[in-house]
């Protein structure tokens, strides 16, 4: 039993360090994955706003929580040296104007925090409340992409 615990925790440490190495080695992959999680939550939110998916407060809350997690983590994955490669669409402006990028990221974080705060423990009560809280959050996608992402579509 004891041996099993030692083995399990060694294995665990191995997984954790493997994850850390991956993140450090490939910040572009991590920041793309974070954006893909934003895209999935934006799609779910959009489907509810358009009435294609029945409104569900718990689903709405999960979307806001996902935006929050990505907004909090996102700024860590733009080290010097990750300006190019791996089909990144990050614009040079991120490194040329770091204060501006920080400001855009800060606004996204603040809008998500406000939305989470307004939605309470169980999520926005109805679709109208969700629209009001998620609207400002979703406006950040386009505005940040306009300034800090290479537009190739
Ligand atoms: C603070 C700036 C910022 C905000 C806010 C932001 N994005 Fe992004 N997004 C970026 C940057 C920079 C990239 C390019 C990352 C790369 O390719 O290295 C990107 C890339 C993407 C991608 C492409 C990912 C890939 O696999 O190449 C998607 C999809 C995306 N964003 C969706 C969203 C959605 C949806 C939102 C709003 C909920 C959002 N983004 C908000 C900056 C932002």
* Structural domains present in the chain: 27-148 (1.20.120.10)
**Gyration radius (Cα) of the chain, Å:** 18
Q: What is the pLDDT of residues 106-151, one digit of tens each?
A: 999 999 999 999 999 999 999 999 999 999 999 999 999 999 999 7
Ligand 1 pocket check for 67: Cβ under 6 Å: yes
pTM exceeds 0.95, yes or no: no
Sign of the CA dihedral running 85, 88, 94, 96? positive
Give the whole-angstrom CA distance, residue 97 versus residue 92.
8
Q: How confident is the model at residue 25 (pLDDT cuts 50, 70, 90)?
A: confident
149 in helix, strand or coil? strand
Is the pLDDT reported for residue 36 higher than 60? yes
- Nearest atom in ligand 1 to 39's CA: 35
- Nearest atom in ligand 1 to 105's CA: 1
Give the whole-angstrom CA distance, residue 72 versus residue 38.
12
Taking residue 10's Cβ as centre, other Cβ atoms within 10 Å add up to: 9
């Amino acid at each position: 039993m004891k041996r099993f615990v030692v083995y399990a925790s060694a294995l665990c440490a191995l997984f954790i360090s493997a994850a850390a190495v991956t993140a450090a080695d490939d910040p572009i992959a991590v920041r793309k994955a974070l954006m893909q999680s934003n895209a999935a939550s934006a799609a779910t939110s959009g489907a509810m706003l358009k009435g294609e998916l029945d409104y569900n407060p718990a689903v709405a809350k999960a979307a806001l929580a996902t935006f929050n997690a990505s907004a909090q983590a996102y700024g860590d994955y733009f080290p010097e040296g990750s300006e190019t490669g791996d089909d990144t669409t990050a614009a040079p402006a991120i490194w040329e104007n770091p204060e501006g990028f920080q400001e855009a990221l800060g606004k996204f974080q603040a809008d998500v925090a406000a939305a989470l705060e307004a939605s309470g423990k169980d999520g926005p009560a109805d679709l109208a409340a969700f629209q009001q809280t998620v609207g400002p959050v979703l406006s950040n996608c386009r505005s940040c992409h306009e300034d800090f992402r290479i537009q190739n579509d």
